[in-house]
């Protein structure tokens, strides 16, 4: 379904842009990781950009929640009909910039955070203005490019900085509205990205475009979609040899003899202290990027002496969230004293579940669970922590939500850098996760177990019955607040007034294609008799079909339905 376009750059446009950027980076993450050869060929630029934007999205959503703004149900196929009052543009862009700053990962993620901060500085300076138009967006893109260059100790052409400058130059050449400015910036960035191999020898040898620049073009494509409702494209594709661009192919690349560690931390410090810190870190290593301001900074540097880089931060102020990565060896966590590691189990299942009842059910089956409260989807960092809690060499990850697919993929990639073998099964509902868990056998070979679980999940159709929170367009027509909605495989299929009737209609439609087992998961607010009524309906109308019922607790939906 096409995105509903925004006319102006206001708080809602910020929210839309952030969400679209996260989804677009989720789709492009693996491709961007694959072409990451500069400044270090560590294959994580796409993942780092995704995690940076994910943090920005969380901050923007928190601002909207604080203003008690609700766009209505998030179910597929819905868009709200009525307008609403929300946070100011300054509030939204400030949250976006702050979220990106505190969540910035890697060289490109840190630069992206500064680009967003540069935009926010211009847009927030407009005072109480509820929105800005084309000229304001042009000025914001120009300041973003300039501030990003200032944050990098030694700017290099052929990188994301070049792409950002080209986007600002192209935007300066138009006098139109936000949509026209966004399109011009995107086209300028796309052309600059295609030219990066001619500017940076390491890219030319590898046969790829710059990974960070590719990520920025992806984010600008999302900006175009925000204002036009359409995805521009295609983004300039990596060159033909992208999938083969590894250090082994070009052992003479500059990064082979480069610093051994990447050091990143947040720092509370005064401007004068940060100026001294820049000089000291510049002498210690390279790829130095220091972004932020107003007392809070994100520091990124590649060094051989990680301890000295951290000590420099201590002298400047209060560093925290310190992350040290040894290139090629995964992560080194430097907080606290090291304890002898306990023995890992061979295999575990990690699952996101929507309610306490299902969490208990999954736990009884041996899974490590992460509870997703209604309206509060977990971030990738929480999924990584759940994988760590499982403490296994091999992990099968069940997101149980279509909206978590990219988040789970980023978490899986992050866990793999820590030496965990992770397989992501793209379950879209908890009932698919139940089917996968039912055939899980830890004694089997890992690949065989994953195939069996994936097949079981894929053979399970899923549905849910919920209540509309506001008037909305749906794939089944217009619903009103309080209507009962039946969704099949993510799309609204039934609109009614009675929970039992809607549930029965949904079940009949699902079983019309056949089935052997019906799984019903009741939420706390579901009518107590609905399970008995549905069981009786299956027993009377569908021979040889079994039914199993679980209590899901506070799971958001009144009822989850699975048909295998």
Strands laid side by side in the 368-371 sheet: 368-371, 345-353, 392-398, 421-424
* CA–CA separation, 137 and 9 (whole Å): 8
pTM of structure: 0.68
Name the CA radius of gyration of the chain, rounded.
25
* CA–CA separation, 153 and 66 (whole Å): 37
486: confidence class by pLDDT, cuts 50, 70, 90: very high
331: confidence class by pLDDT, cuts 50, 70, 90: very low
Considering only 5-9, 21-25, 447-451, 514-518, which range has the smallest mean pLDDT? 5-9
Considering only 1-15, 78-92, 420-434, which range has the smallest mean pLDDT? 78-92
Residue 342 pLDDT:
55
196-215 pLDDT, tens digit per residue, is 999 999 999 888 999 999 99
Q: Is the pLDDT of residue 324 over 90?
A: no
* CA–CA separation, 284 and 359 (whole Å): 48
Residue 194 pLDDT:
93
Considering only 35-39, 92-96, 166-170, 369-373, which range has the smallest mean pLDDT? 369-373
Residue tagged 């084309």 (tokens): 134
562: confidence class by pLDDT, cuts 50, 70, 90: very high
Percent of the chain whose predicted confidence (pLDDT) is above 90: 53
114: confidence class by pLDDT, cuts 50, 70, 90: very high
Q: Is the pLDDT of residue 40 over 90?
A: no
* CA–CA separation, 44 and 37 (whole Å): 10
* CA–CA separation, 402 and 386 (whole Å): 19
Residue 4 pLDDT:
59
249: confidence class by pLDDT, cuts 50, 70, 90: very low
* CA–CA separation, 303 and 306 (whole Å): 6
Residue 322 pLDDT:
85
Percent of the chain whose predicted confidence (pLDDT) is above 70: 88
Q: Is the pLDDT of residue 284 over 50?
A: yes
Q: Is the pLDDT of residue 248 over 70?
A: no
Considering only 78-87, 384-393, 400-409, which range has the smallest mean pLDDT? 78-87
Q: Is the pLDDT of residue 336 over 60?
A: no
Q: Average pLDDT of 114-129?
A: 85
Q: Is the pLDDT of residue 378 over 80?
A: yes
Verify cis geometry, omega within 30 degrees of 0, for the bond prior to 234. Answer: yes
* CA–CA separation, 51 and 48 (whole Å): 5
Q: Is the pLDDT of residue 434 over 70?
A: yes
Residue 79 pLDDT:
41
Considering only 17-31, 41-55, 133-147, which range has the smallest mean pLDDT? 41-55
Q: Is the pLDDT of residue 261 over 80?
A: yes
Residue 328 pLDDT:
55
534-554 pLDDT, tens digit per residue, is 999 998 888 889 999 988 887
Bridge partners, 423 (sequence order): 396
Helices and strands (H, E) in the chain, number of each type: 18, 20
C-alpha distance from residue 292 to each of 70, 91, 216, 271, 321 (Å): 31, 17, 19, 10, 15
Bridge partners, 399 (sequence order): none
Verify cis geometry, omega within 30 degrees of 0, for the bond prior to 265. Answer: no
Q: Is the pLDDT of residue 18 over 90?
A: yes
338: confidence class by pLDDT, cuts 50, 70, 90: very low
Residue 124 pLDDT:
87
State the chain's mean pLDDT as an integer.
Answer: 85
Task: Tokens for 213, please give them.
Answer: 């620049």
Considering only 124-128, 135-139, 410-414, 533-537, which range has the smallest mean pLDDT? 124-128
Q: Between 336 and 167, whose confidence is greater? A: 167
Residue 375 pLDDT:
67
- In a 10 Å sphere around its CB, with 0-12 CB exposed, 13-18 middle and 19+ buried, how is residue 328 labelled? exposed
Task: Tokens for 267, please give them.
Answer: 């720092």
Give SS3 for 376.
Answer: strand
**Cβ-contact 95, 62 below 8 angstroms:** yes
């Amino acid at each position: 379904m096409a995105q509903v376009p925004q006319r102006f750059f206001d708080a809602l446009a910020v929210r839309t842009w952030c969400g679209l950027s996260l989804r677009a980076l989720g789709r492009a993450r693996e491709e961007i990781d694959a072409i990451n050869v500069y400044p270090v060929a560590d294959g994580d630029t796409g993942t780092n950009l995704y995690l940076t934007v994910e943090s920005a999205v969380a901050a923007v959503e928190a601002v909207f929640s604080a203003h008690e703004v609700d766009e209505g149900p998030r179910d597929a196929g819905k868009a709200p009909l009525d307008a609403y009052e929300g946070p100011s543009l300054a509030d939204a862009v400030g949250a976006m910039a702050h979220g990106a700053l505190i969540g910035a990962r890697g060289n490109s993620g840190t630069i992206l955070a500064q680009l967003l901060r540069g935009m926010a500085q211009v847009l927030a300076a407009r005072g109480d203005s509820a929105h800005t138009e084309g000229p304001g967006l042009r000025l914001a893109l120009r300041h973003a490019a300039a501030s990003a260059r200032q944050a990098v100790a030694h700017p290099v052409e052929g990188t994301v900085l070049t792409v950002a400058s080209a986007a600002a130059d192209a935007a300066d050449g138009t006098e139109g509205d936000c949509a026209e400015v966004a399109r011009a910036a995107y086209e300028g960035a796309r052309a600059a990205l295609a030219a990066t191999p001619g500017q940076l020898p390491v890219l030319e040898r590898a046969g790829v475009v710059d990974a960070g620049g590719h990520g920025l073009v992806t984010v600008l494509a999302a900006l175009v979609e925000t204002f036009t409702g359409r995805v521009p494209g295609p983004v300039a594709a990596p060159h033909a040899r992208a999938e083969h661009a590894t250090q082994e192919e070009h052992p003479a690349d500059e990064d082979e003899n480069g610093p051994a560690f990447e050091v990143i931390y947040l720092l509370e410090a005064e401007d004068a202290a940060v100026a001294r810190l820049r000089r000291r870190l510049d002498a210690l290593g390279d790829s130095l990027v220091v972004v932020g301001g107003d007392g809070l900074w994100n520091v990124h540097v590649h060094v051989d002496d990680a301890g000295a880089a951290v000590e420099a931060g201590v002298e400047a102020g209060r560093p925290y969230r310190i992350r040290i990565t040894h290139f090629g060896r995964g992560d080194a966590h430097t907080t606290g004293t090291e304890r002898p590691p306990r023995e890992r189990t061979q295999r575990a299942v990690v699952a996101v579940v929507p309610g306490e009842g299902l969490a208990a059910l999954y736990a009884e089956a041996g899974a490590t669970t992460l509870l997703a409260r209604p309206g509060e989807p977990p971030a990738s960092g929480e999924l990584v922590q759940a994988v760590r809690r499982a403490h296994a060499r091999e992990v099968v990850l069940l997101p149980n939500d279509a909206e978590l697919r990219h988040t789970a993929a980023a978490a899986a990639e992050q866990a793999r850098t820590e030496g965990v073998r992770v397989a992501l099964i793209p379950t879209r509902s908890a009932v698919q996760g139940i089917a996968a868990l039912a055939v899980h056998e830890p004694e089997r070979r890992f690949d065989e177990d994953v195939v069996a679980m994936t097949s079981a999940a894929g053979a399970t159709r899923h549905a849910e019955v919920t209540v509309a929170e506001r008037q909305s367009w749906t794939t089944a027509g217009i619903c009103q607040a309080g209507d009962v909605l039946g969704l099949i495989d993510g799309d609204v299929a039934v609109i009614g007034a009675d929970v039992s009737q809607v549930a029965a209609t949904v079940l009949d439609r699902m079983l019309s294609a056949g089935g052997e087992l019906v799984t019903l998961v009741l939420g706390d607010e579901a009518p107590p008799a609905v399970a008995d009524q549905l069981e009786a309906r299956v027993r009377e109308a569908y021979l040889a079909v079994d039914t199993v019922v679980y209590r899901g607790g506070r799971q958001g939906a009144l009822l989850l339905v699975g048909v295998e």
